[in-house]
Chain A
Amino acid sequence: MFQLQNIDKAFRDRGEVIHVARNLTWELASGAKTALMGESGAGKTTIMNIIAGLDSVDKGTVTVNGIKLSSVSNREVSDYRRNHLGLIFQKFHLVPTLDVWDNAALQARLAGCFDAEAAESLLNRLEIQHLINHYPSQLSGGQQQRVAIARALMHRPKLVLADEPTGNLDEATSDKVIELLVDTATSVGSSLVVVTHSHKVASHLNECWHLASGTLTPSA
């Protein structure tokens, strides 16, 4: 699905150099579902941004879905995000002035592949079909995150990147949400990377990687 090849990424902050990636190589097979763990500040979010084409690398190549990100135009990177990528964040960030239906349909509409029937069945699967006329401020955290999942999956992306999607939820809700996420990602055929601090969450995924001092190691 994507390939990070010998990438280096460092931040310079007042003379201090923070290495997020050091000659890091990581490959994800199509359809794979993986967890990415690591201490706070290890660089997980940065790695996700690099894969999403929102951040650049100092060295090495990033290939996603067959596109070498460093050698294409901004526009193509943007098209790739719109058509083939789903993003989920810790804070759900729905559009407060749009109802659940419009929020969920947002990216599919931007990508020009919105299909009302498919949308309905997705919302059904996420068990929020009865909320479609509600506004985000009227929903619980778990419900909001499910709407965000719907938004990230409705256009059937090749890859879904979720950065601590359960960070704001209690344990029971977390379990439910991550289950639904993995389930729906499988049903639309997306690969999935979930950044998490929770081993319980990680246990829902097929594999798990650990990021520390700029290198990735598979963990048990």
Chain B
Amino acid sequence: MTRRFIIALATTLSFYRSNKLQGLFVLLGLVLGCGLYTAVAQINASARASYAEADKILGASSQLRISDRQQTGVSVDDYIKLRRSGFSTVYPVLEARLPTSEGALISFIATDLLALPIAPAAQETDVENPFRGSDWSRLTQPPYEMWVPAQIAKKIGVRDGDRVELPDGTRLPPASIRSQTQQNDRVFMDIGAALNVLGTDRLSYLAVGELDDNQQTLFQEQFGDRLALSRNTEAFDLSQLTQSLHTNLTALGLLSFIVGVFIVFNAVNFSLSARTKVFRVLDELGVPAPEVGLAILIETLIWSLTGALLGTLLAQPVSTALMPAVASTMQNIYGAHVSSVPLFNGELFLKALALASAGLAMTLMLPLMLIASEPAARATLGPIQVGRSSSRALAAVGTIMILAACAIYPFASSLIQGFGLLALILFAGIALLPAVIISVAAFGKAALGYSWLGRWAFADILSQLPHLRLALMALLLTLIANIGVTSLVGSFRIALTDWLETRLSADYYISDKALSSTDLIGQSWISAAHQRKVAEVRFSGRKAEVIGIDVTAPDFQQGSVIDAEPNAFARWINSVDTETPVFANEQVRYLAGVQVGDAVNLMTNLGPHAFRVIGFFHDYGNTKYAFHLPKERFDILYPRAEVQGWGIWVTDKDIYKAEVGLNKLGVGPADLISQNDVLLLSMSIFDRTFAITRALNALTLVVAGVAIFASLLSLYQLRRPEYALWRAIGMRWIEFFCVAGSPVILMTGVVMIISLPMGVALAWLLINKINVISFGWTMPMVLSASSIAFLFCLVLCLVFMAFLLASLGQRTAVSSALKQLAGE
């Protein structure tokens, strides 16, 4: 068997020597598909690893958290008292996010190394211990040291030993650059150093492992009046919140893999049908069919191994390029800290290999079945008839899918169901495509029947469709996804800008708490000054904020309220009802299931109190619940609440006058935030956050373009003799374009037309289902005609270029192609 088999294998493989381009496309499809998928998988894996790491070292794994009942944070005194009372497993955590004098934002985390459950000195051999082997003692002694992850050091331009300066002139401890990723993208300091440098005496919270019942009772007795013990639900919330982003990324990764498979399918299909002769010859030479099958199998294995290997290699630069964007998404939307350095492991390679093999097996199945089962039927029927009847069946499936999606829509309430809906929409579009194209061809033929060229062009759609069908489907898939996701991001950007402009309508935000209203009254440069006060409570298992609002403040007005009871704003201001009227953010509505008119119970400084939700407001990106109360009412219920500072509206926007005035009042630059800067910063953060989606979108578009090009090329290779004949009887380029090129353009047009409503439906689902399910807020959908038009122009150019490139080869080699016609 062996010699014969090797000859058989060599014979089947020799196809790719003479058809290098087809081989290239099999490889390209696999590499692009596997590469993008693996890159995304790698990003997800790294992010998850980051969560786990964060859990391991910095207290997120602590089951319990201790916080102050009245104020944010916990005082150092309380911490010391707790330790002295025998709560030896309690350790402090201080988290902060500060701007440097150069305008970069740094996240800090600090803890007491000696109090950590995995104290560095105690467990020198613990492999998991990030402090093992480090000279951690330098962290705890002046001038202290701060550990900066290498990727952050690079970002903010810090070198070993540098002392970063804060806007108020404070210098941070010397930096020590770390390659470890345990602290993710956060700068690590010892708690002593942090308190010192940041000039505070309050810790963010205290973390503690598990406390037994005795200890809990003891805690309640001794500290219960001031300190609250709570389950650490944040870790849970976080993984739930970020789940949707990861699912999103995975879906995009899979999408590019599917598009890659389309390319492979084209190439494999072509290579198999082009080799039917070779297989027949092998059969006649006495090579048994199983051996030919085995040869194909080995070929497949070679392809998937190379594809997976190169794909994994490709994934490295791609994920390295995308990871910082993901890290900033995590930081900005979810407040999760993720390392921006992607991890690699062998499991991912195996996954890519499995994926490549599965994809190849899938692409092999259909053509093999066709070749094996009914070569005769195919020859007589021709691909056109086969295409027509199968397109009808597909259209039926597509219609059923759309109906199913409509039926399921009201009931979809989990992320999986939401993504199921998305998949239904996407695949319904694909299934409907061939039937729509065939109808358009029939219609066009009837409408343009008087012109022979038009008749021919529309008729040629039917001969091209079977070859281009898959590539067009891939294109449709990417276009739908593209329009959907772009509209989502665009809508979000507009909604967020509008919202921020109201929310941050003050010109300055002053955090100086010493400033009193008497200081501000009578200043000619102030047109308005309003205070917000905040109390932290819990509602429905999550953190919630009750905010006291100046009813005349421009940053929360009647227009900000959505879906309110009649006359709600006036009732809210007067607070005349027995149940205190309150506005809640949308998160309360979608995540906690509260409706307008429902009563909610919240803790106040006077004890539990019943409120009546009379309306909602948008609160984009907030992971907490929020309730708005008029300030007068708030002051009664929360006398001990913390003042958030002043929002100042400047007369005639005279910034210069305002700065001089503020200076006179003794407000330093450290206590002053220009809202305009915050707005700009927020938008730049937003854009960076969605860079990942945009990048993946662009990449899938490129892959779809390659798919079109690949199938055009194999189509032209297949029809070479036919086209040669056309040229031989004197067809000019422009006529060739009309007959062979315009169908491609036309079909692309149909794809675009279908993609528009489907893409809008997708955007609608993303905004009103997925978004609500995962974040608890909605926004008005805004479609950007210009960006969709741009996308379509881009696709048309791409397809036209593919046509030009693929048809270029047609001009030459007419005579050799005609030899085939001459009967050879």
Interface residues of A (CB under 8 A from B): 45, 48-49, 52, 54-55, 78-79, 81-83, 85, 87, 89-91, 93, 95-98, 102, 105-107, 109-111, 137, 151, 163-164, 167-168
Contacts and interface: CB of A to CB of B under 8 A. Distances in A.
B290 interface: no
A69 to B, nearest CB: 13
A83 B730 contact: yes
A110 B735 contact: yes
Contacts of B727: 78
Most B CB atoms within 10 A — which of A52, A93, A137, A168? A93
B815 A102 contact: no
A52 B814 CA distance: 12
Interface string B36-60: 0000000000000000000000000
A54 B727 CA distance: 10
Most A CB atoms within 10 A — which of B384, B463, B728? B728
B821 A106 contact: no
A105 B728 CA distance: 16
B462 A91 contact: no
A110 B459 contact: no
Contact of A107 (B721, B722, B729): B729
B456 A98 contact: yes
A109 B384 CA distance: 26
B573 interface: no
Nearest to B381: A137
Contact of B456 (A55, A89, A91, A97): A97
Contacts of B814: 54
B455 interface: yes
B456 A110 contact: no
Contacts of A98: 455-456, 459
Q: How large is the interface on B (under 10, 10 to 19, 20 to 34, 35 or more residues)?
A: 20 to 34
Nearest to A109: B452
A78 B814 CA distance: 12
Contacts of B821: 89-91, 93
27 contacts: A45-B819, A52-B728, A54-B818, A78-B730, A81-B729, A81-B730, A82-B729, A87-B725, A89-B725, A90-B822, A95-B456, A96-B382, A96-B463, A97-B456, A97-B463, A98-B455, A98-B456, A102-B452, A102-B455, A105-B452, A106-B729, A109-B453, A110-B729, A110-B732, A110-B735, A163-B822, A164-B822
B680 to A, nearest CB: 59
A67 B815 CA distance: 20
Contacts of A49: 815, 818
Contacts of B732: 78, 110
A168 to B, nearest CB: 8
B382 A82 contact: no
A149 to B, nearest CB: 13
Contacts of B133: none
B199 interface: no
A54 B815 CA distance: 5
Given A45-B824, A89-B725, 11 more contacts: A81-B728, A81-B730, A83-B730, A85-B730, A93-B721, A102-B452, A102-B455, A102-B456, A107-B729, A110-B729, A110-B732
B157 interface: no
B456 A90 contact: no
A164 B823 contact: yes
B460 interface: yes
A97 B460 contact: yes
A110 B722 contact: no
B793 interface: no
Contact of A93 (B452, B722, B815): B722
A93 B731 CA distance: 15
> What are the 10 A-B residue pairs with the smallest beta carbon separation, nearest first?
A82-B730, A97-B459, A90-B823, A54-B815, A89-B821, A81-B730, A45-B822, A55-B815, A107-B729, A163-B822
Contacts of B462: 97
B460 to A, nearest CB: 6
Most B CB atoms within 10 A — which of A45, A95, A97, A106? A97
Contacts of B722: 93, 95
Interface string B346-368: 00000000000000000000000
Contacts of B823: 89-91, 163-164, 167-168
Contact of B725 (A78, A93, A137): A93
Contacts of B815: 49, 54-55
Interface in B186-219: none
B737 to A, nearest CB: 14
A54 B726 CA distance: 13
Contacts of A48: 822
Interface string B799-824: 00000000000000011001101111
B728 A54 contact: yes
Contacts of B730: 78-79, 81-83, 85, 107, 110-111
A106 B814 CA distance: 19
A55 B819 CA distance: 11
A168 B822 CA distance: 11
A96 B383 CA distance: 11
A79 B460 CA distance: 24
A86 to B, nearest CB: 8
A9 B817 CA distance: 19
A167 B822 CA distance: 10
A106 B728 CA distance: 12
Nearest to A90: B823
B26 to A, nearest CB: 29
Interface string B710-740: 0000000000011001011111100100000
Contacts of B455: 98, 102
A81 to B, nearest CB: 5
A105 B453 CA distance: 11
Interface in B447-504: 452-453, 455-456, 459-460, 462-463
A50 to B, nearest CB: 9
Contacts of A54: 728, 814-815, 818
A151 B346 CA distance: 64
Contacts of B818: 49, 54, 89
